[in-house]
């Protein structure tokens, strides 16, 4: 498979679909925005406990500074303002971050199976969290425990190690990155298994973390993690041109005047940062970062300048909605919901896909 053939195929598809695709991004963008707004409203209005909708509106209005007379129990205010609102916002931020990071890794590695966790991030974060559970020290900083801090560091360290090791092989750099990521990930996963085996009664905590979810979301956590995710994602959006160039292959990108090595390092670093911050607040939530970019690409085509922002919106709406579904029956792991809801939907989109779809 030569880079040239891929490029030709893709440009032919792009030209052929240009007309039909022209208005789609706008429609998808508007649709995703409406869906996100609805998911946020529903996420605050509904939950495990029924709070009358009038009370919900009153509580939110009061916090926005409107003089509304308090006519609700204190527990309703805590549920709406301290539990649901930060939770919904965290889900939206994490969903957007994972989708943007997934788009970036798929484009960067030119691999449709890439997701935000591909280069050892997941195993690094999981091992960090497991070590934190085993250390009998309690640290609390901005609502973060040792688990969050070590998960964040673990994810970043894992990617850094993969990047460093991959540079020293003589393989093509993408192959080297993917294989190194796989090997380091496996090694870290083995470490995780050892930690889980040694954890005894603490095993439940590690499993909770691995399942992922937003039950622990709080304002301080959101305030600490959201800037990292949002700023990282925005910086990635601004580099969509580089990602487009890299999609054409290293040679073409270099011929277009791109400093391939440098751009790749920057994109990888930003995507890893976004992933690590998302993973630190939410644990490991699969599927969002893998599927959302594909869904968006299948609808609007491969242009990263469209795919990145639209993925962010769709990812945010999807994860907010999935979290709502997860918490109505009690507390289901949100990863279960993303897969149950997302997989059939993705299969439907995939069946309708035209020939010639490539990352």
Partner 1 sequence: MAGLLLAACAPGATPSQSPQIQPTTGAGASAAAAFPVTLIDDEGTAVTIKAQPQRIASLSPANTETVFALGAGDRLVGGSDYDDYPAEAAALPDLVTFNGVVMEQLVAAAPDLVLAAGNGFNPPADIARIRELGIPVVVLYPEDVPGVLRDIELIGQAVGKGEAAEAMTSAMGERIDAISAATAAVPQPRTFYELGAEPELYGPSDDSFVADMVTLAGGEPITTGSTTAASLSLERLVTEDPEVIVLGDANYGTTAAQVAARPGWNVMTAVKSGAIRPVDDKIVTRPGPRLADGLAALTLAIHPDFVLPSEAP
For partner 1, give the closer residue by CB, 90 or 233.
90
For the CB of residue 152, give the shortest distance to partner 1 in the complex, in Å.
15
Q: What are the E-state strand segments in the chain? A: none
For partner 1, give the closer residue by CB, 68 or 336.
336
Q: Does 257 bind partner 1 (CB under 8 A)?
A: no
Angle among Cα 68, 42, 88 to the nearest 5 degrees reads: 90
Hey, which residues between 112 and 151 contact partner 1 (CB under 8 A)? Answer: 138, 140, 143, 145, 147
Going by C-alpha positions, the residue among 318, 129, 96, 288 that lies closest to residue 205 is: 129
CA 181 to chain centre: 18
Which residues does 144 contact at the CB level (< 8 Å), separation at least 6?
220, 221, 224, 280
For the CB of residue 79, give the shortest distance to partner 1 in the complex, in Å.
5
- List the structure tokens of 61: 């209005």
**Cα(328)–Cα(48) distance, rounded to whole angstroms?**
5
Among 47, 124, 154, 301, interactor with partner 1 by CB under 8 A:
47
The answer to whether 128 and 152 are in contact (CB under 8 A) is yes
Query: CB under 8 A: which stretch of 6-14, 56-64, 119-127, 325-333 binds partner 1?
Result: 325-333
Count of residues engaged in binding partner 1, rule: CB under 8 A: 34
Query: CB under 8 A: which stretch of 8-16, 82-90, 226-234, 262-270 binds partner 1?
Result: 82-90
Question: What DSSP assignment string belongs to 230-252?
Answer: HHHHHHHHHTHHHHHHHHT-HHH
The answer to whether 281 and 343 are in contact (CB under 8 A) is no
Query: Based on C-alpha coordinates, what's the Rg of the chain?
Result: 21
For partner 1, give the closer residue by CB, 79 or 271.
79
Hey, which residues between 279 and 308 contact partner 1 (CB under 8 A)? Answer: none
For the CB of residue 147, give the shortest distance to partner 1 in the complex, in Å.
7
For partner 1, give the closer residue by CB, 62 or 215.
215
Query: One symbol per residue from 192 to 231: x for binding partner 1 (CB under 8 A), - otherwise; what is it?
Result: ------x-xxxxxx--x--x-x-xx-x-------------
For the CB of residue 197, give the shortest distance to partner 1 in the complex, in Å.
8
Query: CB under 8 A: which stretch of 109-117, 155-163, 258-266, 330-338 binds partner 1?
Result: 330-338
Question: What DSSP assignment string belongs to 68-111?
Answer: ----S-HHHHIIIIIIIHHHHHHHHHHHHHHHHHHHHHHHHHT-
Which residue's entry shows tokens 């609007």?
300
Q: Does 1 bind partner 1 (CB under 8 A)?
A: no
For the CB of residue 2, give the shortest distance to partner 1 in the complex, in Å.
50
> How many other C-beta atoms lie within 10 A of the C-beta of residue 140?
11
- Binding residues for partner 1, rule: CB under 8 A, are 47-49, 73-75, 78-79, 82-84, 138, 140, 143, 145, 147, 198, 200-205, 208, 211, 213, 215-216, 218, 327, 330-333
């Amino acid at each position: 498979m030569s880079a040239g053939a891929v490029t030709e195929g893709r440009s032919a598809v792009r030209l052929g679909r240009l007309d039909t695709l022209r208005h789609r991004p706008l429609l998808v963008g508007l649709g995703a925005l409406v869906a996100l707004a609805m998911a946020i409203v529903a996420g605050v209005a509904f939950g495990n406990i029924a709070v009358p909708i009038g009370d919900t509106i009153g509580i939110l209005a009061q916090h926005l500074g409107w003089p509304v007379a308090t006519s609700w129990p204190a527990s309703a205010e805590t549920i709406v303002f301290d539990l649901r609102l930060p939770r919904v916002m965290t889900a939206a931020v994490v969903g957007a971050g994972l989708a943007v990071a997934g788009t970036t890794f798929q484009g960067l590695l030119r691999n449709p199976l890439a997701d935000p966790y591909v280069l050892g991030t997941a195993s690094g974060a999981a091992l960090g969290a497991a070590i934190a559970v085993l250390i009998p020290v309690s640290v609390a900083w901005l609502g973060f425990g040792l688990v969050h801090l070590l998960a964040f560091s673990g994810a970043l360290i894992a990617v850094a190690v993969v990047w460093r090791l991959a540079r020293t092989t003589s393989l093509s750099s993408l192959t080297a990155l993917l294989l190194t990521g796989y090997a380091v990930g496996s090694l870290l996963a083995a470490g995780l298994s050892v930690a889980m085996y040694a954890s005894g009664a603490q095993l439940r905590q590690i499993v909770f973390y691995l399942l992922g979810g937003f039950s622990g979301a709080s304002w301080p956590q959101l305030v600490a993690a959201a800037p990292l995710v949002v700023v990282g994602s925005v910086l990635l959006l601004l580099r969509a041109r580089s990602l487009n160039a890299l999609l054409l292959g290293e040679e073409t990108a270099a011929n277009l005047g791109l400093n391939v090595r440098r751009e790749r390092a920057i994109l990888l670093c930003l995507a890893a940062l976004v992933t690590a911050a998302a993973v630190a607040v939410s644990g490991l939530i699969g599927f969002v970062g893998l599927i959302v970019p594909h869904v968006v690409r299948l609808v609007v085509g491969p242009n990263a300048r469209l795919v990145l922002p639209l993925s962010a919106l769709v990812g945010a709406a999807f994860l907010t909605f999935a979290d709502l579904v997860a918490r109505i029956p009690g507390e289901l792991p949100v990863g279960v919901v993303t897969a149950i809801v997302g997989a059939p939907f993705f299969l439907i989109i995939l069946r309708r896909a035209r020939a010639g779809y490539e990352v």
